[in-house]
Structure 1
Amino acid sequence: METIKIDGPYNFDLVLDRLSLDPLHQVDAENRSVFVPLMIGNEPMVAQVKAIGSTKAPEFVITGIEESFQDKAAERLGEIFQWNTPLETIHQHFQNTDLKGIFDQHYGTPIVLDFDPYSCLQKCIIHQQLNLSFAHTLTERFVKTFGFEKDGVWFYPLPETVAELQVEDLRELQFSGRKAEYVIGIAKEIASGILNFEELKNKSDQEVFDQLIKLRGVGPWTVQNFLMFGFGRQNLFPMADIGIQNALKKQYQLEAKPTLQEMESFSKGWDPYLSYASLYLWRSIE
């Protein structure tokens, strides 16, 4: 067992609320905890993260990790839950903007990463051009058919496993032919070592964009979402995202979805925390 204290604000209850939208996540809101699948080296393990503090004085207990892996697990969990991000600084940045109301409403909500970059990229591909409900259903089928379970928690299928699949294997789950090709193709890039997330993590947003955009099935929306929820980059604003468009329509009481020019105008002054503007806009309609 390990106890982690961080600077507030940090609203773990709102974190759990957002994580619970994904049926693959093992969230226990009543006990303020979530079970997190981790790959430390090549070893799968499940960490329970439980909040015992408050939004102003956040504190967490981590259990389920063998002592020899605790330091690496704590480091990875810190990345996933963005425990070192100065949320008060970000909150204050938005106090003189049009988003003040939703930042007050969702005070202390961090960007929480997907549990590993590979699953984040695959999930982005699967979710493309689907409504959220079916996107979650399709992802759940994918994981539960080809992934594996440990201590009641599901792990995404390994790249080596997906690289060996045929398009027909995913078509049986209701993947489109092209989406199946994209998912398998990306797995092959990772399994062969061509795509290395540890190397990618140290590159700039533009360098990551330039490398990922070359992959079949990866467009700007996918890269922007990956940068946010795979690597925790703080200044992304995916203007093609329907959720953000709907949230802006609600925020500014527009008759129609905003144009790109309107979105650029609205977002002036949100830099360098555009990712947090995106997150809080999503939260405002979830």
Structure 2
Amino acid sequence: MDKILDVVGPYNFHQALKRLKIDPLSAIDLEKETILIPIWVKGYPIVVDLQQIGTLEKPRFHVKTKNEIPVAHDDVIQQLSHLFHWNIPLKEVADFFQNNELGPLFQRFRGTPFVCDFQMYGCLMKVIIHQQLNMTFAYTLSERFVKTFGFEQDGAWFYPTPETVSKLEVSQLRDLQFSQRKAEYVIDTSKLLVEGDLNLDDVVQMSDEEVIKTLVKIRGIGPWTAECFLMFGLGRMDLFPIQDIGIQNGMKKYYNWETKPTHETMLEKSAKWEPYRTYASLYLWESIEVN
């Protein structure tokens, strides 16, 4: 596979890569603006080499794979378009916030796309692993998880499959410094997927409210985890997880408040940002996490 793809600008791929590089599992060259993308397409693990060869205003991408792939190229492009929000007109998002109180923030990060996690099951595992941890240790833990039980292909790391994780013993995750409960959550959720009690293909078709209602029934998954999965796993556009400490700190900094906002204040403010609250979340994260 070797294709050149034009995308509607503005599209700030470099800023997106800076955020993605926070994850130690990422294979990114910021100078060359390249990233290796491990995705599952039609049941096949495929690594895509993606490079930005255009500009912020006229983005163009070189999309290639190391070897010929056993799936239609259009299926790969469609999945990449979803993951990188190539199908989302970012100018419309920026215009929406132009006269909004977040206008300066959207001007600062103009064209920065929201990028989904590359593997849906991997995203579910990551948000469970990351809950109630500081960012540094959260990524350390998910990296250990992937490099111990997942696999590497063409220079990119894939999360282990639900079948693999469902067969693990709690002690194997405890050896990686998982807490007892978190190890149980990861294994038990994987068992639900293997046994058919949870189907991610069905979840994709649900509304945001239905997804949250379905996921919070699972032991170890609360509202924050469900909302983050909606954002990073499914790419939904209107999520604003008020329990997220990063968003709380982002608002505190942006509004120059002395203390972090209450949930009530966050809900009141974010009501004005519908239907693009996911992008409001992203840019608030950017303001405190990415230089």
CA distance in 2, matches of 1:33, 1:193: 37
The answer to whether 1:50 aligns with 2:45 is: no
5 Å matches for 1:168-247?
A: 168-247=171-250
CA distance in 2, matches of 1:122, 1:250: 30
Partner in structure 2 of residue 66 of structure 1: 68
| Length-normalised TM-score, structure 2 | 0.96
CA distance in 1, matches of 2:186, 2:269: 35
Which runs of no fewer than 5 residues in structure 1 stay unpaired? none
Question: What amino acid sits opposite 1:10 in the alignment?
Answer: Y
CA distance in 2, matches of 1:113, 1:67: 22
- For residue 262 of structure 1, report the CA deviation from its aligned partner: 1.6
Partner in structure 2 of residue 82 of structure 1: 85
CA-to-aligned-CA distance 1:167-191 (integer Å, 9 cap, x gap)? 1110000000000000001111112
Question: What SS does the aligned partner of 2:273 have?
Answer: coil
CA distance in 2, matches of 1:47, 1:211: 32
Structure 1 vs Structure 2 CA RMSD: 1.1
5 Å matches for 1:265-280?
A: 265-280=268-283
CA distance in 2, matches of 1:154, 1:275: 26
CA distance in 1, matches of 2:272, 2:98: 11
| Length-normalised TM-score, structure 1 | 0.97
- For residue 68 of structure 1, report the CA deviation from its aligned partner: 4.7
- For residue 205 of structure 1, report the CA deviation from its aligned partner: 0.6
CA distance in 1, matches of 2:120, 2:94: 27
Question: What SS does the aligned partner of 1:222 have?
Answer: helix
CA distance in 2, matches of 1:16, 1:84: 18
Partner in structure 1 of residue 257 of structure 2: 254
CA contact (8 A) 2:54 2:61 kept: yes
Question: What SS does the aligned partner of 1:4 have?
Answer: strand
CA distance in 2, matches of 1:268, 1:238: 12
5 Å matches for 1:9-28?
A: 9-28=10-29
The answer to whether 1:160 aligns with 2:163 is: yes
Question: What amino acid sits opposite 2:210 in the alignment?
Answer: E
- For residue 41 of structure 1, report the CA deviation from its aligned partner: 2.3
- For residue 67 of structure 1, report the CA deviation from its aligned partner: 5.4
Partner residue of 1:145 out of 145, 148, 152: 148
CA-to-aligned-CA distance 1:141-182 (integer Å, 9 cap, x gap)? 000000011112111011100000011110000000000000
CA-to-aligned-CA distance 1:36-67 (integer Å, 9 cap, x gap)? 01112232121001111111111111111625
Partner in structure 1 of residue 267 of structure 2: 264
Question: What SS does the aligned partner of 1:24 have?
Answer: coil
Partner in structure 2 of residue 3 of structure 1: 4
CA-to-aligned-CA distance 1:193-246 (integer Å, 9 cap, x gap)? 222222211111111111111111100000110101111101111001000000
How many positions carry a matched residue from both structures? 286
CA distance in 1, matches of 2:69, 2:55: 27
Which runs of no fewer than 5 residues in structure 2 stay unpaired? none
Question: What SS does the aligned partner of 1:160 have?
Answer: helix
CA contact (8 A) 2:46 2:69 kept: no
CA-to-aligned-CA distance 1:100-158 (integer Å, 9 cap, x gap)? 11101100011100001111111000001100000000000000000011112111011
CA distance in 1, matches of 2:191, 2:214: 15
Question: What SS does the aligned partner of 2:85 have?
Answer: coil
Question: What amino acid sits opposite 2:68 in the alignment?
Answer: E
